[in-house]
Structure 1
């Protein structure tokens, strides 16, 4: 089983071109690929001001609010409010998208897959037992608001808030213990 824990404190944050925040790549395929060549990419961003999103033609995207009071995304002129009770939205990277912070900065998780080559699914989970969906090539689990213990193959992995656990393709039962929520990202 190929399991790796990526600690949030070790992610390298870099500023956006427009200065509206910072981002840190968690994982991409193929490793070392650029924005023009990735098949899929998962990153965490700190959004500090309102502004436009960069276009990503032929990319399917999901944005998940991890921390903060929320954000309103304007996708092709249609507003979507994301907050703790409704934290995620999937949309096309072809869409004209801009954001407006609801009340202060946020941290979000961005999942992007190249259309026609990969697809992704996201699920918000609490404590319990889970299985990965059939056809999953890689999966990532990120605690959103508290720590989690993840038990897989008899080994306990302790994750702090915003750490990432990368799972390979497993059909084993995965036990989650914690008091908060986590986001599961599956790449197929």
Structure 2
């Protein structure tokens, strides 16, 4: 197996930026290209604190995946279709150009967001529990600790400890990944298509 480039991103180091509409804040975990604007990313991963109900910003040409991390829940109305995120780790997938109106069930939520521009990249998001082992091939893999704490072993390297909110980024990933601990991960695999 080839050597992967591994970076630990601590959740406490993420910088909060307010939304333009004042309805919450976002913390970018990673994006490609790094530093890309909201109109130019191939993919973007972030954590958002949603303080009030309202419409989502539209992102034409972008596939979105949203995961509830904290809070009593959120209902996403998409015309005739509804996405109910009622339990932590519930997942909603929708097109960025869709008109989405969010309703909070009982107060603020924290959500994990994956956005992938269709003409530039492909991405998947899966929920892993501690104790899983998988082979992952991707240009970039992101392992976000969504619950508890987890130790991640990449190939035969020493384990890396993640606390809730931390992310392990693996670039040029062609690796066997094993997890231990009491938590849950959001595992994102990304491939650029251009």
Q: Smaller-chain TM-score range?
A: over 0.9
Which structure: greater strand fraction? 2
TM-score, normalised by the number of residues in structure 1: 0.94
**CA pair 137-126 structure 1, distance change in 2 beyond 3 A:** same
Q: Distance in 2 between matches of 1:144 and 1:137?
A: 22
8 Å contact from structure 2 (residues 129, 184) kept in 1: yes
Q: TM-score, normalised by structure 2?
A: 0.91
Structure 2 counterpart of 1:137: 139
Other-structure match for 1:174: 177
SS for the counterpart of 2:107 is coil
Structure 1 runs of 4+ aligned residues shifted over 4 Å read none
**RMSD over aligned Cα atoms:** 1.3
- What is the match of residue 186 of structure 1? 189
Aligned length: 186
1:37 aligned to 2:47? Answer: no
1:37, 1:180 → 2: CA distance? 34
Aligned to 1:148: 150
SS in 2 for 1:14: strand
Whole-angstrom CA distance in 2 between matches of 1:114 and 1:104: 31
Cα distance in 2 for partners of 1:50, 1:86 equals 20
Contact in 1 for aligned 2:26/2:47 (Cα 8 Å): yes
CA shift, 1:85, in A, is 6.3
Q: What is the Cα deviation at residue 83 of structure 1? A: 2.5
